[in-house]
């Protein structure tokens, strides 16, 4: 990113930099080395936010030990904030009980077909910000008739309605697109509003349908 940042014309303080600790580096020494390597590749001294990518609850490294290393990394000034990704309620509970340090963010799969209410509610109760990955379910929700009806009524696309729904629920969204017009479309979310009934109707589309792996069993390192 050092080069990419220079090419973008943006200043460092105009970019919020999030990175994740990769699955193969949960042991302390590996984590410290991976962090140094990431920072060096990025060309910065610290990330704004650094996350454990997956809890990997079935592997032989305890994610609570990895969280202790993340605390060390934050305390050394290598990350301004630390958080987690794909952590379920029992995983989060163990972090509180065993370290007392609450993650700033839990980045989890959330979209109208997987509203992930229990994890979001636990986060809200404990001051953890939910960040919704695959916020439009990689496009799978975009043809939904309920979203289409709302989109037609408010004069927006189904992608914009879905992203606005996330924001009104209080979650952070980061849709991915390599298409310039879609990137621009996905930013135009702050000049319209959904009614409470619209938000509820979209939440009612939940079918607990994941596009990605189940965090309780995912063990790829
Ligand atoms: N923490 C984790 O474990 C985890 C797991 C998965 C994903 N993520 C992250 O979450 C972010 C987003 O997730 P994602 O890429 O899986 O899914 P997504 O953002 O829900 O969907 C991306 C797909 O939707 C298309 N798209 C984007 N905007 C659109 C629009 N306005 N209209 C129509 N199509 C649109 C994109 O196509 P084009 O690109 O062709 O325009 C792409 O195919 C990524 O940064 C990803 O790295 C995190």
Q: Is the CB of 88 under 6 A from ligand 1?
A: no
The Å distance, Cα 158 to ligand 1 centre, comes to 14
Mean pLDDT computed over 74-89: 98
Atom of ligand 1 nearest to the CA of 176: 19
Give pLDDT, residue 7: 66
CA–CA gap between residue 212 and residue 109 (Å, rounded): 8
CATH 3.20.20.100 applies to domain 2-103? yes
The Å distance, Cα 176 to ligand 1 centre, comes to 4
Name the closest-CA residue to atom 29, ligand 1: 182
- List Cα–Cα distances, 195 to 54, 62, 147, in angstroms: 35, 43, 13
Q: Per-domain residue ranges for the chain?
A: 2-103
pLDDT digits over 200-221, tens only?
Answer: 999 999 999 999 999 999 999 9
Name the closest-CA residue to atom 30, ligand 1: 182
Mean pLDDT computed over 41-51: 96
pLDDT digits over 136-150, tens only?
Answer: 999 999 999 999 999
pLDDT digits over 154-196, tens only?
Answer: 999 999 999 999 999 999 999 999 999 999 999 999 999 999 9
**Closest by CA position to 145, among listed 209, 204, 208:** 204
Q: Is the CB of 218 under 6 A from ligand 1?
A: no
The Å distance, Cα 137 to ligand 1 centre, comes to 7
Mean pLDDT computed over 48-67: 98
Give pLDDT, residue 174: 95
Task: Show the DSSP H helices in the chain as ranges.
Answer: 2-8, 28-42, 63-75, 89-99, 117-126, 145-154, 158-168, 180-187, 196-203
**Closest by CA position to 135, among listed 87, 186, 91:** 186
Give pLDDT, residue 5: 62
Let me know: does 194 contact 150? Beta carbons within 8 Å: yes
**Closest by CA position to 159, among listed 172, 77, 173, 51:** 173
- Quote the Cα angle for 208-169-154, to 5°: 100
Instruction: Say whether pLDDT at 2 is over 90.
Output: no
The Å distance, Cα 135 to ligand 1 centre, comes to 7
Name the closest-CA residue to atom 9, ligand 1: 133
pLDDT digits over 83-133, tens only?
Answer: 999 999 999 999 999 999 999 999 999 999 999 999 999 999 999 999 999
């Amino acid at each position: 990113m050092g080069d990419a940042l220079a090419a973008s014309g943006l200043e460092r303080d105009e970019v919020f930099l999030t990175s994740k600790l990769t699955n193969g580096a949960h042991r302390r020494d590996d984590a410290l080395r991976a962090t140094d390597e990431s920072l060096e590749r990025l060309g910065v001294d610290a990330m704004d936010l650094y996350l454990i990518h997956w809890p990997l609850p079935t592997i032989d490294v305890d994610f609570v030990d990895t969280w202790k290393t993340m605390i060390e990394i934050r305390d050394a000034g290598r990350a301004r904030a630390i958080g987690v990704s794909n952590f379920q309620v029992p995983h989060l509970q163990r972090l509180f009980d065993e370290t007392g340090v609450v993650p700033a963010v839990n980045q989890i799969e959330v979209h109208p077909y997987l509203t992930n209410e229990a994890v979001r509610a636990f986060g809200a109760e404990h001051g953890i910000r939910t960040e919704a990955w695959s916020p439009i379910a990689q496009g799978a929700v975009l043809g939904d008739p309920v979203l289409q009806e709302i989109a037609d009524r408010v004069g927006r696309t189904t992608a914009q309605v879905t992203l606005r729904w996330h924001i009104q629920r209080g979650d952070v969204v980061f849709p991915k697109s390599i298409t310039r017009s879609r990137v621009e479309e996905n930013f135009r979310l702050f000049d319209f509003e959904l009614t409470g009934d619209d938000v509820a109707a979209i939440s009612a589309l939940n079918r607990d349908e994941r596009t990605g792996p189940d965090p309780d069993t995912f063990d790829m390192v």
